[in-house]
């Protein structure tokens, strides 16, 4: 049954948080609270509701079946808007409620008591409600018990958050990401939805820790994750898989859009204004993208494909996004070999040169170490005398004392 409006549509909005998904399956810990609420108050109905954005969904309920509804159209809107519990001893005696369909029709609510579920940051994320088909009074002791039951729900949520969230960055833990991603894949398989996956790794992160200290490294991790969360949708999943490695799951997202999202996140991380003792610290990440399709039955295969693409992104220049390509239908990406050769950057018609060290090389690109990247022009010629190599280059990425180039 959908809950109809008891308040005007122009009531002010309330700050809410997703916290626990309103459309997730019922769970015994929440069901237990609704059973205790019914038993203690001797009422016929009790529910736990979580609010997500503009909508509301019932997580646990006993004695009544409420569906999902827009939050401005719910019986609980007064609780969401206020800071105190809402008690309605007799709905038929209250002008605001006496004509409401849930009062005059099924389930014939005559008594309502609701207390807000308030997170640790003070925001209301849901409501614990007790309802009955006959009028009744509610004293201070009753309210205290209802408040204690609401606290039990919040404590349960916060314990779950500690168990499923990476303490440093706020991303999902590896285990929590895999569990939630597995459920998302099951839904995609069942309903034929598209699903995208992105693996990314912060470039040269060890050099940040070594050169600027672990505290600065932690800051880079936190800021990178915060930037990702600001860029992604609320329905997307972001997990820390270990160290500086992360994964993103994108529900209802096809290959082209997944690659576009990865590029948007890459650009946001590259633009981070992280300032160290010696000035701005360059931060970048390499991305691998895969999408759900034939041959994928679980999260392991989806992550494996994204990780293969990520390896290609790192070996072909870093600070870039690469999509996984089926080896049976396309040529695999060119992998650069590691080398250590003296090179020369030539420009101005050969009149200007800069010494460099070639770190990795393929027929299409190279990675070069230099003393000062600011002196290297966007286009130049690379000379490696030991290999008789002379190639026109274009810079595709810059790091501290390092440039990535493509041959053209």
pLDDT band (50, 70, 90) for residue 170: very high
pLDDT band (50, 70, 90) for residue 72: very low
Omega before 45 within 30 of 0, i.e. cis:
no
CA–CA distance, 105 with 103 (Å, rounded to integer): 5
Q: Which of 102, 80, 128 shows the shortest CA–CA distance to 2?
A: 102
Q: Structural domain tally of the chain?
A: 3
Per-residue pLDDT of 268-313, as tens digits, reads 999 999 998 888 899 999 999 999 876 677 888 899 999 999 998 9
**Quick one: 184 and 312 in the same domain?**
yes
Q: Is residue 316 part of a domain?
A: yes
**Quick one: 155 and 196 in the same domain?**
no
Question: Helices H, strands E: what count in the chain?
Answer: 9, 19
79: tokens are: 């609780």
Per-residue pLDDT of 91-142, as tens digits, reads 999 988 888 888 888 889 999 998 988 877 778 888 899 999 999 988 888 8
Q: What is the mean pLDDT of residues 159-170?
A: 85
**Quick one: 306 and 342 in the same domain?**
no
Angle between helices 174-191 and 299-315 (to 10 degrees): 110
CA–CA distance, 406 with 408 (Å, rounded to integer): 6
**Quick one: 263 and 393 in the same domain?**
no
pLDDT band (50, 70, 90) for residue 327: low
**Quick one: 316 and 345 in the same domain?**
no
**Quick one: 281 and 312 in the same domain?**
yes
CA–CA distance, 311 with 351 (Å, rounded to integer): 38
**Quick one: 217 and 354 in the same domain?**
no
Residue 115's domain is classified under what CATH number?
3.30.450.40
* Distance between first and last Cα of the chain: 65
251: tokens are: 């529900």
β-partners of residue 245 are: 201, 242
| Whether residue 15 has pLDDT greater than 70 | no
Number of other residues whose CB lies within 10 A of the CB of residue 389: 15
Torsions phi, psi for 344 (to 5 deg): -135, 125
Query: What is the per-residue pLDDT for 7?
Result: 27
Q: Which of 207, 224, 237, 300 shows the shortest CA–CA distance to 267?
A: 224
Domain that includes residue 382, residue range: 337-407
**Quick one: 318 and 341 in the same domain?**
no
CA–CA distance, 258 with 191 (Å, rounded to integer): 19
Q: What is the mean pLDDT of residues 160-187?
A: 89
pLDDT band (50, 70, 90) for residue 162: confident
SS3 category, 264: helix
CA angle 374, 375, 379 (to 5 degrees): 100
Query: What is the per-residue pLDDT for 190?
Result: 82
Using the 3D structure, point to which of 98, 129, 162 is the last residue of a domain: 162
Q: Are 181 and 237 in contact (CB under 8 A)?
A: yes
Catalytic residue numbers read: 244
| Whether residue 255 has pLDDT greater than 70 | yes
β-partners of residue 280 are: 275
Q: Is residue 23 part of a domain?
A: no
CA–CA distance, 282 with 263 (Å, rounded to integer): 17
């Amino acid at each position: 049954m959908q809950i109809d409006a008891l308040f005007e549509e122009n009531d002010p909005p309330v700050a809410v948080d997703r916290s626990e998904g309103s459309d997730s399956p019922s769970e015994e810990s929440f069901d237990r609270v609704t059973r205790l609420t019914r038993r203690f108050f001797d009422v016929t109905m009790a529910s736990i509701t979580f609010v997500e954005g503009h909508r509301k969904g019932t997580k646990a309920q006993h004695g009544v079946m409420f569906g999902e509804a827009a939050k401005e159209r719910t019986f609980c809107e007064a609780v969401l808007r206020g800071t105190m519990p809402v008690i309605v001893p007799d709905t038929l005696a209250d002008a605001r409620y006496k004509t409401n369909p849930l009062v005059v029709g099924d389930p014939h609510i005559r008594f309502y008591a609701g207390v807000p579920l308030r997170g640790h940051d003070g925001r209301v994320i849901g409501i614990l409600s007790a309802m009955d088909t006959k009028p009744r009074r509610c004293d201070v002791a009753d309210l205290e018990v209802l408040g204690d039951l609401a606290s039990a729900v919040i404590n349960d949520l916060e314990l779950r958050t500690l168990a499923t969230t990476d303490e440093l960055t706020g991303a999902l833990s590896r285990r929590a990401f895999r569990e939630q991603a597995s459920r998302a894949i099951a839904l995609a398989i069942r309903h034929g939805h598209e699903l995208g996956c992105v693996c990314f790794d912060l470039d040269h992160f060890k050099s940040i820790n070594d050169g600027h200290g672990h505290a600065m490294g932690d800051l880079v991790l936190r800021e990178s994750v915060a930037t990702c969360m600001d860029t992604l949708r609320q329905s997307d999943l972001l997990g820390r898989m270990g160290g500086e490695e992360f994964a993103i799951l994108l529900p209802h997202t096809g290959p082209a859009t997944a690659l576009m999202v990865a590029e948007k996140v890459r650009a946001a991380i590259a633009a981070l204004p992280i300032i160290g003792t010696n000035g701005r610290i360059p931060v970048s990440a390499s991305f691998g993208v895969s999408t759900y399709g034939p041959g994928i039955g679980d999260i392991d295969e989806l992550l494996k494909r994204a990780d293969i693409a990520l390896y290609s992104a790192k070996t072909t220049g870093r600070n870039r996004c690469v999509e996984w390509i089926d080896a049976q239908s396309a040529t695999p990406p060119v992998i650069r070999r590691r080398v250590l050769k003296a090179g020369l950057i030539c420009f101005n018609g050969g009149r200007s040169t800069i010494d460099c060290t070639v770190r990795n090389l393929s027929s299409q690109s190279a990675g070069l170490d230099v003393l000062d990247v600011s002196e290297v022009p966007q286009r130049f010629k690379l000379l490696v005398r030991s290999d008789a190599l002379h190639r026109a280059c274009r810079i595709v990425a810059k790091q501290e004392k390092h440039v990535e180039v493509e041959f053209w």
